[in-house]
Structure 1
Amino acid sequence: MLDAICIYDEASPETYTVFKFQKLNEADIEKYRQSLLCPACKQKAYFRKASKDGRAACFGSRYHHADCKEFKPSKAKAREELAAIEVNQQLVDSDALMIDFSRQPLSFQGRKPSIPPNDIDKKASVDPTPKRKQISADNDVLLSDTVEVGACVKADDLSEVPMSRVATQGLEKLLLSLLRGSELAKSDLWVYTDKKYRWRAKNLFVNFADAEPTENGAPRMYWGTLSHSDKKMHWLNPADCSDLGIPIEDYQEALLTNLNIQDRRDFEGAGIILFGKCFWNKDKTRKIIQLWSKDLSRLFIAKLED
């Protein structure tokens, strides 16, 4: 995409060429980049800066309508569509779905293992939420009185479900299917996050645009696309909203190694899904989504193809 519409000022939207946009000062780029739309189908768009190795700056979108003239099919889009078809079929054929957090993403095959989560320096994270009875992040135990009614229930009956009717899926295909509009986020299918607890899919999968702090920090599977990171790559900023951040400083080294990320540009426009909790910062001006137990197996990022 060579053009994008900026709706930062909704009363006076402005169309930028990529050449004009990249000439804005740094402050204006950071201010406007989360308010970009595709000029043809009006779906959320992103801006990627020029890279040090000569790749040009560009606009793009992971949400193009199929008939959008700006939509250019690629191998990545084909994978997303196949993932959406596969997940939609599982919704039809299965009585339940088990998330396999250990499943190796196809894009990671052949890489050296990243630093195990248990070896990451576990700094004391600041959690400004009231110190009420909360979910145990270390033991991943969901207490029945800390989760909204209907959101998650204890599932002692998993053994009663015929295993042939319990599908399994990894984070990569779940994310790609959501990006391509699968029915997963609207489904009533039971989804197991482990052998003990299950959720209705429509209560579990939450797009960043709809993320709200949950009672006592009850977790969800949050997903969407990334706009950019801060200069030190300590925070990730979703493109779907401007009042939310994802802290990654505590496991930054392992994450960057795992994803082979050298530059903050690599986060721009990437898809992301993570199991975590959402809460307000101290001043209640910004929402934070914190990765559950700082466990990288519960986070997946799909970088854009170059």
Structure 2
Amino acid sequence: MLDAICQYDETQPVTYSVFKFQKLPADDIEKYRQTLVCPACAGKAYYRKASKDGKAACFGSRYHQADCAEFKPSAAKTREEQHALEVNQLVVDSDAMIIDFSRAPFLSQRPPLAAKTEAKRGAATLNKPSQANTTAPVKQDDKPARIATQGLEKLLHSLLRGSDLATSELWVYTDDKYRWRAKNLFVNFVDAEPTENGAPRMYWGTISHTDKERLWLNPAETKAVGIPIDKFSRELISGFGLAERRDFEGAGIILFGKCFWNKSKTRKIIQLWGNDPSRIYISKADDSE
């Protein structure tokens, strides 16, 4: 995308070319970047600054409509659309789904014992109590007959590409204790609200930018939410190839965490559950978006 509409002042939206936008003062770029939309379909957009290895600054969007003139086919988009089809089929064909948190890329570097433990936890899921709209244990005769297993990558891509997962009645198991209806579990950042007793959810969306120290992630969907990553930023940087701040910009993200207010109740915080990096997945943006 060479152009994007800035809606910082909703009464007077401004269309910027990427060449003009990148010349704005740094403070203005930080102020405007979370209010950008695609000029063709009004999908939420992002800005990526130029990279150290010579890649040009660009606008992009993970929310283009399928018939949007700015939606350019690429290998990454084709892959994400395939993931959406697979997850939609899973929703139709399955009675329940287990989220396999061991499928994150950096987990391949973990000791075999850790990976084995994750697999064992997943296998034990259906014999444990459930929560999310029911606190009763799962009875043997209530056990779903058709059980699918899926990792965070495909779940994230399917949500970004508009799959039916976030509105479905599918039972989803998040660990060896709890299950949830998918429609109550998957929450886009713009809809995030503090939950009773800090109950976790699967929050998803896109990243607008991170601070210079890479201690916080700022979602593109809303300025009212912040995601602290200071306790596991090194794992994210090495595990997902996030060498520059630019690599965070426009990236898709999904994480299992809890939402709560900051002390002054001016911003909602989404904290990764147990600060466990196996429960987060980041998909870098395609430069052609």
Distance 2:38 2:137 in 1: 43
Match of 1:176 among 157, 161, 168: 157
1:25 aligns with 2:46: no
Unaligned runs of 5+ in 2: 115-127
Spell out, residue by residue over 1:47-96, the C-alpha distance to the aligned partner (whole angstroms, 9 max, x if none).
00011111100000011011110000111111111111111111111111
Q: Residue 51 of structure 1 aligns with which residue?
A: 51
Number of matched pairs:
273
Cα offset, 1:253, TM superposition: 1.2
Does the CA-based 8 Å contact 2:129-2:177 persist in structure 1? no
Shift of 1:161: 2.5
- What TM-score comes out, normalization by structure 2 length? 0.89
* Cα distance, 1:196 vs structure 2: 2.5
Aligned position for 1:156:
138
Report what 1:276 is aligned to. Answer: 257
Q: Which runs of 4+ in 1 moved over 6 A?
A: none
Distance 1:217 1:38, change over 3 A: same
1:176-225 CA distances to partner (integer Å, 9 max, x unpaired)?
Answer: 00000000000011111123311010000000000011112110000000
Deviation per residue, 1:219-256 (Å, 9 max, x gap):
00000000000011000000000111100001111221
1:136 equivalent in structure 2: none
| 1: CA distance, partners of 2:110 / 2:143 | 35
Q: CA 1:215–1:115 in structure 2 vs 1: closer, same or farther (change >3 Å)?
A: farther
Q: Output the TM-score relative to the length of structure 1.
A: 0.84
- Whether the 8 Å CA contact 1:36–1:44 is kept in 2: the answer is yes
In structure 1, how many angstroms separate the alpha carbons of the residues matched to 2:216 and 2:53? Answer: 24
Structure 1 residues without counterparts, runs of 5 or longer:
119-141
Cα separation, 1, equivalents of 2:140 and 2:278 = 23
State the distance in 2 between where 1:75 and 1:101 align.
25
Q: CA contact under 8 A between 1:47 and 1:268: conserved in structure 2?
A: yes
Aligned pair partner of 1:298 in 274, 279, 282: 279
Contact map agreement 2:96 2:144 (CA 8 A) in 1: no
1:225 pairs with one of 206, 209, 213: 206
Asked whether the equivalents of residues 94 and 167 of structure 1 are also in contact (C-alpha less than 8 Å), the reply is yes
In the alignment, residue 74 of structure 2 is paired with which amino acid?
S
Write 1 or 2 for the structure with the bigger share of helix. Answer: 2
Structural mapping, 1:52-201, within 5 Å: 52-105=52-105, 113=109, 150=133, 153-157=135-139, 160-163=142-145, 165-201=146-182
RMSD: 2.2
| Contact 2:129–2:137 (CA under 8 A) maintained in structure 1 | no
C-alpha displacement of 1:103 = 2.3
For the 8 Å contact 1:154–1:198, the answer to whether it is kept is no
SS at match of 2:103: coil
Shift of the 249–114 alpha-carbon distance from structure 1 to 2, 3 Å rule, reads farther
Q: Percent identity?
A: 68
Deviation (angstroms), 1:102: 1.2
Task: Give the Cα–Cα distance (whole angstroms) in 2 for the partners of residues 185 and 96 of structure 1.
Answer: 14
Deviation of 1:115 (Å): 9.6
Whether the aligned pair in 2 keeps the contact of 1:95 and 1:161 (CA below 8 Å) is no
Task: Indicate how the Cα distance of structure 1 residues 42 and 168 shifts in structure 2: closer, same or farther if over 3 A, else same.
Answer: same
Give the whole-Å Cα distance in 2 for the aligned partners of 1:74 and 1:195.
Answer: 38
Which amino acid in structure 2 is aligned with residue 192 of structure 1? Y
SS at match of 1:246: strand
Cα contact 1:155–1:197 (8 A) shared by 2: no
CA 1:143/1:249 → structure 2, altered by over 3 Å: closer, same or farther? farther
Measure the CA separation in 2 of the matches of 1:95 and 1:143: 17
Contact 1:155 1:195 in 2 (8 A): no
Offset at residue 156 of structure 1 (A): 2.2
